[in-house]
Amino acid sequence: MDTKVIPLHTRIHPSAIVHPKAQVGAGVEIGPYTIIGENVEIGEGTKIGAHCVIEGWTKIGRENKIYTGAIVGSEPQDLKFGGEKTYLFIGDNNIIREYATISRGTEGGGGETRLGNGNLVMSYVHVGHDVQMGNHCVVAHAVGIAGHVVIEDRVVLGGIAGIHQFTKIGRMAMVGAHSMVTKDVPPYALVDGNPARVYGVNIVGLRRNGLPPETRIEIQRAFKILYRSGLNVSQAIEVMERELAGSEEIDHFLRFLRSADRGICR
């Protein structure tokens, strides 16, 4: 029996402007009045809506969805930027909603902005230059992420939150809506307020991400040592190393605390 191969056709609206040197994969859809720049690469199956601008040295992976009015790969909003060649890398299966803006990197910040796989970036979000975002994050409406921010995997940022430059947000942390984050958010934490304060462990997030009960209990013990024992961070790390059972999650928690140069939310 013969197998019929159905080719993946790229569909580009007649009103779209796609530079002839742009690399557009099979099955890509580009909507009306969208502009694709010279140095852009778009992976197979990605869908780009109307009135979008994809520019600069931007590489987008497979099966992404980019909605109306998004501006992706624009020059950094940084007065030190001098037009140098910098990059934006976006992985696979991301959703970038209406009017979001994502900037390329700067020479002084490593030269690249990165988004991993499976992220949801909602409408009017700004992702600043040199941001490093992991996988499966949810960034709600109108969040502002300043330059040089690191966001680990499976983080949730509530609507209209502001994330200060050079801060780090640990894996599976949740930031409440309207919060202002000016210090590092430890992994697994639930923070809220202006300035953001820690209110406990993101237990719901840990459950949703499949962490077993014994691991959740160890994380709660770690937070009790860090936040309720009266110890400073260095002292709390020593106690955690001595008293907690070894696990990948606790090891990661300790690594994060050791590298929190801006201090942590308390």
Give the type of residue at 10. T
pLDDT in tens, 116-130: 999 999 999 999 999
Interhelix angle 233-243/248-258, rounded to 10 degrees, is 160
- Give the separation between CA 235 and CA 139, rounded to whole angstroms: 33
Domain boundaries, the chain: 11-148, 207-258
Query: What's the start-to-end Cα distance of the chain, in Å?
Result: 67
Query: Is the whole model's pTM more than 0.85, yes or no?
Result: yes
- Are 11-148 and 207-258 in the same CATH fold? no
Active site residues: 129-130, 147
What is the reported pLDDT for 130?
98
pLDDT over 80 at 3, yes or no: no
- pLDDT-derived band at 1 (thresholds 50, 70, 90) equals very low
Largest CA distance in the chain: 74
Token duo for residue 251:
């090891």
Give the type of residue at 247. S
Is the domain spanning 207-258 CATH 3.40.640.10? The answer is no
Share of the chain above pLDDT 70, in %: 97
Instruction: Kindly report the CATH number that applies to the domain delimited by 11-148.
Output: 2.160.10.10
pLDDT over 90 at 192, yes or no: yes
What is the average per-residue pLDDT within 131-135? 98
Give the type of residue at 180. M
pLDDT over 50 at 96, yes or no: yes
